[in-house]
Amino acid sequence: MADSRKLKLALVGCGGIAQAHWKGIEGHSPRIQVTAVVDTDAGRAAAMAAQTGAMPFTSLAEALAQGDFDAVDILLPHAQHEEAAVLAFGAGKHVVLEKPMAHTLASAARIQAAAQQAARKAGTVFMVAEQAQYWPDARAVQELIEAGAIGEIITARAFFGGPTAPLGGGPRPWRYDLAIAGGGITMDGGAHWIRPLRMWLGEIDEVVAVTGRPLADMDGESLSRSILRFRSGVVAILDALTAGAVMGPGEEFRVTGTEGEILLEKGRGGRLLLFDRSNPGGKVILDNKDEGRAAAFGYELNDFAGAVLDGTSLEASPEYSLGELRTAFAIYRSAESRQWEKVWE
């Protein structure tokens, strides 16, 4: 018999990423029912309510008092993650929280403490949403590496680049404000490039980096160039850049092994290619990786729903998901100290 239990979810924050979560839910998460939407901007809440069929609210407190849901999906600017998460845990709700967990490590620690207390008291689930964990292309690379398709890994490089706000003006985005964002491009979009490297190469031990601010309007770094040394001893390169300009094509990831290379093309519809002795010109493993990346928002929310409804383990624990934020902060420390900086100490 089909399992008809559903997870009633409130979307808290109805901005850009809420749209991606909603599309993921609509297309791929049949066990999730969005029953409440919250935004301090009443117009945005009303528009999201019309789109989803959920009840609109203009504060989480109001939604917790009057709404009908078991879990909240927090989709807010970074400095607001803690207040919303603590409020939701206090009400005994399960919480999924967009990356990064918080704008500082101290705030993240307080969120984790509230999560642990709520888990003991009410059996709540806590997850940090990092959709790269569920990208079909990142999974395919992981499988190729595990199958020995490129032999022993020698090195890897990752390039994240693109606009974080509409080109050519508009109001100053909150992510340009260091007090709200907590950092720049590395902990924001760059996080989605750090996760696949961790999936493929293991845990990062230390980093050395240079940062810059080519985008003058952005308080945090809009450029970082880092060398990451993994616990395995393998060294990789991570670039993160938002230049406020149109950028050309190229590659997002290149993983080089003793037997070949894996390449992920940058840009809409980019492909995953394997180069080895049998395929010196490259074999297409996945065409249009971006279709799967959009669906990944649904897959990550399915993981959350399964943990709540079935008690299954999350693909990535909240502790593990701090790794991208810790890496970004180690990069910032290294840019200041001009030394190697440890990620986990």
Ligand X SMILES: NC(=O)c1ccc[n+]([C@@H]2O[C@H](COP(=O)([O-])OP(=O)(O)OC[C@H]3O[C@@H](n4cnc5c(N)ncnc54)[C@H](O)[C@@H]3O)[C@@H](O)[C@H]2O)c1
Closest-approach residue to ligand X (CB): 15
Residue with tokens 């770094």: 221
Q: What are phi and psi of 61, to 5 degrees?
A: -60, -45
Residue whose CB is less far from ligand X, 89 or 230: 89
First to last CA, the chain: 49
Q: State the nearest-atom distance from the C-beta of 51 to ligand X, in Å.
A: 13
Residue whose CB is less far from ligand X, 64 or 255: 64
Residue whose CB is less far from ligand X, 131 or 211: 131
151-154 CB contacts, 8 Å cutoff, 24+ apart: 151/257, 151/258, 151/259, 151/260, 152/257, 152/258, 153/200, 153/201, 153/232, 153/234, 153/255, 153/256, 153/257, 154/234, 154/256, 154/257, 154/258
CB atoms within 10 A of CB 317: 12
Contact 62, 37 (CB under 8 A): no
Q: Which two tokens stand for residue 282?
A: 């490259």
Beta strands in the chain, from DSSP E residues, in sequence order: 7-12, 32-38, 55-57, 71-74, 94-98, 126-129, 153-161, 204-212, 223-230, 235-241, 251-257, 260-265, 272-276, 279-286, 341-342
- Which residue type is seen at 305? A
Distance from C-alpha of 186 to C-alpha of 334, rounded to nearest angstrom: 13
Residue whose CB is less far from ligand X, 27 or 148: 27
Residue whose CB is less far from ligand X, 82 or 206: 82
Residue whose CB is less far from ligand X, 12 or 145: 12
Residue with tokens 């967009």: 98
Residue whose CB is less far from ligand X, 46 or 243: 46
Q: State the nearest-atom distance from the C-beta of 297 to ligand X, in Å.
A: 8
Q: State the nearest-atom distance from the C-beta of 143 to ligand X, in Å.
A: 23
Q: State the nearest-atom distance from the C-beta of 130 to ligand X, in Å.
A: 7
Q: State the nearest-atom distance from the C-beta of 114 to ligand X, in Å.
A: 17
Q: Which two tokens stand for residue 315?
A: 């693909």
Q: Which residues in this chain contact ligand X in the complex, by CB under 6 A?
A: 12-18, 38-41, 44, 60, 75-78, 80, 98-99, 131, 174, 188, 192
Q: State the nearest-atom distance from the C-beta of 312 to ligand X, in Å.
A: 22
Could you write out the DSSP letters of every residue in 241-282? E--SS-----EEEEEEESSEEEEEE-STT--EEEEETTEEEE
Q: State the nearest-atom distance from the C-beta of 136 to ligand X, in Å.
A: 15
Residue whose CB is less far from ligand X, 40 or 142: 40
Is residue 313 packed enough to be buried (19+ CB in 10 Å), middle (13-18) or exposed (0-12)? exposed
Q: State the nearest-atom distance from the C-beta of 17 to ligand X, in Å.
A: 4
Any idea what the Cα angle at residue 104 is, between residues 103 and 105, rounded to 5°? 135
Q: State the nearest-atom distance from the C-beta of 39 to ligand X, in Å.
A: 4
Residue whose CB is less far from ligand X, 60 or 95: 60
